[in-house]
Amino acid sequence: MSQMPGEDNGTAMFQGFSEETIQFLWGVKFNNERGWFNEHKQEYLDHLYRPMQELGREVYDLFHACNPGCQLNLHVARIYRDARRVKYGGPYKDHLWLSMERPHDSEEDWHGIPSFWFEIGSTGYQYGLGYWGNPQDMEVYRRRILREPEKLEALVDLYESQETFHLYGEEYKRPKGQVAERLMPWFNRKYVGLSCEREPDELLFSPELAHELVKGYQLLMPFYEYFDSLRLEPLPE
């Protein structure tokens, strides 16, 4: 896990987010300009960014203790919006996230790399696994399903046996092909993932959040392994 510029080198354990975290996120949502943020920057550091760093470190350690052979990199997002995107919502994000994904070059296209993630906003939080493939990646994915439908069927069995995560991802308006009916919701998407969404609750404000995230990621490991294995497939011409 690499150190990020300006990151706190302390080893404080995650104690949970707070009501101040949610209040700050509402504040930046409705006051997305530099003057307001500069007045509330210490609140951002104390109640959002540092707790997110602490959560990320703890999740990272717990996850790799359970999966020593699966070495992922941790990334904690910053609130500062890319200057190219400021016109779409102001200079600051009104939500913050962390992610864990396999090591890759900083300039490598992030498409086709499955990622475990957690995100918090003013109205709640969510976490799960995402596979944001480009069109070529998703074509590889569909070809795998057509060639070996039984592998995805086993994952669908697992998905249907739990109630924590739901399937998400924008669907194509026109079907990309024909597969068994229960596989179609997985087959006909521009990207695919599984997500758990919750309103602010006791778990969000508790140190147990880190353990709950890892418990969820463990449930999603078979899906991660399936998506990650797609990089071994030949690319379509």
Per residue in 72-113, pLDDT (tens digit) is: 999 999 999 876 655 567 899 999 999 999 987 654 566 789
Sign of the alpha-carbon dihedral angle for 88, 42, 101, 182: negative
Q: Look up residue 72 and give its amino acid.
A: L
Confidence (pLDDT) at 6: 39
Task: Provide the 3-class DSSP secondary structure of residue 213.
Answer: helix
Residue 1 has pLDDT above 60, yes or no: no
Query: Is 150 within 8 Å of 182 (Cβ atoms)?
Result: no
Residue 49 has pLDDT above 70, yes or no: yes
Average pLDDT, the chain: 91
Confidence (pLDDT) at 5: 35
Tokens of residue 25, six digits: 């996120």
Where are the domains positioned within the chain? Answer: 19-232
Query: How large is the angle between the packed helices 149-160 and 135-147, nearest 10 degrees?
Result: 100
Name every residue whose Cβ is closer than 8 Å to that of residue 200 and which is 6 or more positions away in sequence.
22, 123, 124, 125
Architecture of domain 19-232: 2-Layer Sandwich (3.30)
Cα–Cα dist 18/47, whole Å: 7
Per residue in 106-139, pLDDT (tens digit) is: 545 667 899 999 999 999 999 999 999 899 999 9
Cα–Cα dist 227/70, whole Å: 14
Confidence (pLDDT) at 159: 98
Neighbours of 77 (CB within 10 A): 16
Per residue in 156-165, pLDDT (tens digit) is: 999 999 999 9
Name every residue whose Cβ is closer than 8 Å to that of residue 178 and which is 6 or more positions away in sequence.
none
Confidence (pLDDT) at 156: 98
Among the residues of the chain, which ranges form H helices? Answer: 19-30, 34-39, 41-44, 50-66, 135-147, 149-160, 184-187, 208-229
Q: Exposed, middle or buried: residue 114 (CB in 10 Å: 0-12, 13-18, 19+)?
A: buried
Task: Provide the 3-class DSSP secondary structure of residue 73.
Answer: strand
Confidence (pLDDT) at 232: 84
* Phi, then psi, of 66 in degrees rounded to 5: -85, -25
Q: Look up residue 51 and give its amino acid.
A: P
Confidence (pLDDT) at 112: 86
Confidence (pLDDT) at 60: 98
Cα–Cα dist 64/68, whole Å: 5
Residue 236 has pLDDT above 80, yes or no: no
Sign of the alpha-carbon dihedral angle for 132, 135, 138, 140: negative
Query: Is 14 within 8 Å of 51 (Cβ atoms)?
Result: yes
Per residue in 137-182, pLDDT (tens digit) is: 999 999 999 999 999 999 999 999 999 999 999 999 998 889 999 9
Confidence (pLDDT) at 234: 76
- Proportion of the chain above pLDDT 90, given as a percent: 81
pTM over 0.85: yes
